[in-house]
Amino acid sequence: MSSRKVALVTGITGQDGSYLAELLLSKGYEVHGVKRRSSLINTQRVDHLYQEPHEPDRRFVLHHGDLTDSSSLLHIMEKVQPDEVYNLAAQSHVAVSFEEPEYTANSDAIGVLRLLEAIRTLKLVDKTRFYQASTSELYGLVQETPQKETTPFYPRSPYGVAKLYGYWITVNYREAYGIYACNGILFNHESPVRGETFVTRKITRAIARIALGMQSCLYLGNLSSLRDWGHAKDYVEMQWMMLQQDKPEDFVIATGVQYSVRQFVEFSARELGIELRFEGDGDAEVGVVVAVQGDRASCKVGDVIVKVDPRYYRPAEVETLLGDATRARERLGWTPKITLAELVKEMVEADYHAARRDALVLSAGFRI
Ligand code: NDP
Ligand code: GDR
């Protein structure tokens, strides 16, 4: 029998799942992941980790399952007998949660219960440690700044409300049944593999395409929204650390620095030599090119490359989030290593590279 640790990661095909899988494999774990069935293959973020089923001593295995389907979760848990479960799966888009509130509750709230119940049903209470991907969206309409573990919650979206249930059911199963279960209350974290409809990636992708003349304008919603943005790579390390302690505890994970969406656009554009000035206000605010340096951007001074489109406003907005990760620093020695400037650079460079490749393919007469 192998003595290596076994981890089960739900949401392994997502941004965090892919970084966490890399980290766990580098630490010698056997990593099992839950993927959903889809009509097109959706494992791009973990394809580089794929191991052929006939390979001896396989350490990376994917299983079909869904957080809305108890039986699939029970079967997977029974088969895998994990030492650690990282529940990263969720309908994770706040705006979409207003359009699909019931599904969001099913996957993001009841899905957590299903996994915890599987631990109980399979009598894994003393073996399996459980990590729940909680979120700064719990703070919503903030009651205290910066937000820490003791700050009261006030979620502002069906996503935030569903995650509130996930948070408390994790605490409850820890207290009621003694499961080693804990919440990471993570503030926004991004990377080059961030989903393309989250604001940072939408921005870096659009700026790259605008620079190459493949797109003329970037339409955004609330430019004044303030977020505490970190790098996913730093944050998954903390997810692992939280399951290695003597006692389970909940932790805020954040950088402690806050920027607006508007600033994120300015920083991204500057990376490709485009200086922007924002003019006007409200729905009429625009981002105008005031200087172009270097040879990477084809836009001209005076071009309007950012506009507000109210369709991206949310029925209820979270205007400001700023985290205080003192507990994580003091008890676990965790501090983020990657700065916002480094994050922006990495994301813009990756999207510029991808846009150039797409431009080349298109110019040769092929479809992307
Ligand atoms: P992503 O949206 O990139 O990934 C979500 C993952 O969940 C995907 O693998 C997705 O599968 C899977 N998934 C969605 N619904 C289901 C379902 N019903 N059953 C099984 N799997 C499902 O999110 P992130 O990686 O950014 O975030 C990971 C977790 O952390 C999420 O729970 C999110 O809510 C939470 N979080 C994220 C933060 C962030 O800033 N990134 C901050 C705080 C919390 P598929 O690929 O098929 O869509
Ligand atoms: P968020 O991330 O809602 O914080 O949730 P997102 O990047 O979607 O929005 C951040 C802020 O930017 C504003 N915004 C826009 N957002 C999007 N997506 N598209 C736009 O065009 C746009 N214009 C302005 C938003 O209104 C918002 O204020 C993320 C997710 O990863 C959650 O799963 C996670 O729990 C939280 O971060 C912490």
What whole-number distance in Å separates Cα of residue 99 and Cα of residue 60?
Answer: 35
Determine the Cα angle at 109 with ends 260 and 59, to 5°: 90
Q: Which of 331, 192, 348, 191 is nearest to 266 (CA)?
A: 348
Out of 86, 159, 167, 173, the active site residue is 159
Q: Going by C-beta distance under 8 Å and a sequence separation of 6 or more, which residues neighbour residue 185? A: 134, 135, 136, 138, 149, 167, 250, 251, 252, 253, 323
pLDDT per residue, tens digit, the chain (368 aa), is 468 999 999 999 999 999 999 999 999 999 999 999 999 999 999 999 999 989 988 999 999 999 999 999 999 999 999 999 999 999 999 999 999 999 999 999 999 999 999 999 999 999 999 999 999 999 999 999 999 999 999 999 999 999 999 999 999 999 999 999 999 999 999 999 999 999 999 999 999 999 999 999 999 999 999 999 999 999 999 999 999 999 999 999 999 999 999 999 999 999 999 999 999 999 999 999 999 999 999 999 999 999 999 999 999 999 999 999 999 999 999 999 999 999 999 999 999 999 999 999 999 999 98
3-state class of 20 per DSSP? helix
Q: Going by C-beta distance under 8 Å and a sequence separation of 6 or more, which residues neighbour residue 364? A: none
180 is catalytic: no
- In the chain, CATH 3.90.25.10 sits at 199-226+260-318+338-364
Q: Which atom of ligand 1 is nearest to the CA of 185?
A: 43
Q: Which of 149, 167, 141, 198 is nearest to 15 (CA)?
A: 198
What whole-number distance in Å separates Cα of residue 206 and Cα of residue 223?
Answer: 15
Q: Going by C-beta distance under 8 Å and a sequence separation of 6 or more, which residues neighbour residue 265? A: 203, 207, 218, 220, 223, 276, 287, 306
- Tell me the best of 147, 199, 235 to mutate to test the pocket of ligand 2, counting ligand atoms within 8 Å of each CB and taking the most: 199
Q: Which CATH number fits domain 199-226+260-318+338-364: 3.90.25.10, 3.30.470.10, 3.40.50.720, 3.30.930.10?
A: 3.90.25.10
3-state class of 32 per DSSP? strand
Tell me if 234 CB under 6 Å of ligand 1: no
What whole-number distance in Å separates Cα of residue 14 and Cα of residue 90?
Answer: 9
- Report the chain's C-alpha Rg in angstroms: 21
Tell me if 317 CB under 6 Å of ligand 2: yes
- In the chain, CATH 3.40.50.720 sits at 6-186
Cα 186 to Cα 65, 88, 99, 226, 250: the distances in Å are 25, 11, 24, 15, 10
Is the ipTM reported for this complex over the cut 0.85? yes
Tell me if 67 CB under 6 Å of ligand 1: yes
- Tell me the best of 98, 188, 202, 255 to mutate to test the pocket of ligand 2, counting ligand atoms within 8 Å of each CB and taking the most: 188
Name the helix (H) or strand (E) containing 109: none
Give the number of the ligand closest to the Cα of residue 133: 1
Six-digit token pair at 266?
A: 């300015």
Q: Which CATH number fits domain 6-186: 3.40.50.720, 3.90.1150.10, 1.10.3080.10, 3.40.190.10?
A: 3.40.50.720
Six-digit token pair at 348?
A: 């813009």
Tell me if 91 CB under 6 Å of ligand 1: yes
What whole-number distance in Å separates Cα of residue 76 and Cα of residue 61?
Answer: 11
Q: Sheet containing 286-292: give its strands across.
A: 218-220, 304-308, 286-292, 274-279
CA of 289 to the centre of ligand 1 (A): 35
What whole-number distance in Å separates Cα of residue 309 and Cα of residue 220?
Answer: 6
Tell me if 195 CB under 6 Å of ligand 1: yes
320 is catalytic: no
Can you list the positions of beta strands (E) in 179-285? 181-186, 189-190, 218-220, 226-227, 230-231, 251-253, 259-260, 274-279
Q: Which residues pair with 226 in a beta bridge?
A: 260, 320
Q: Which atom of ligand 1 is nearest to the CA of 189?
A: 40
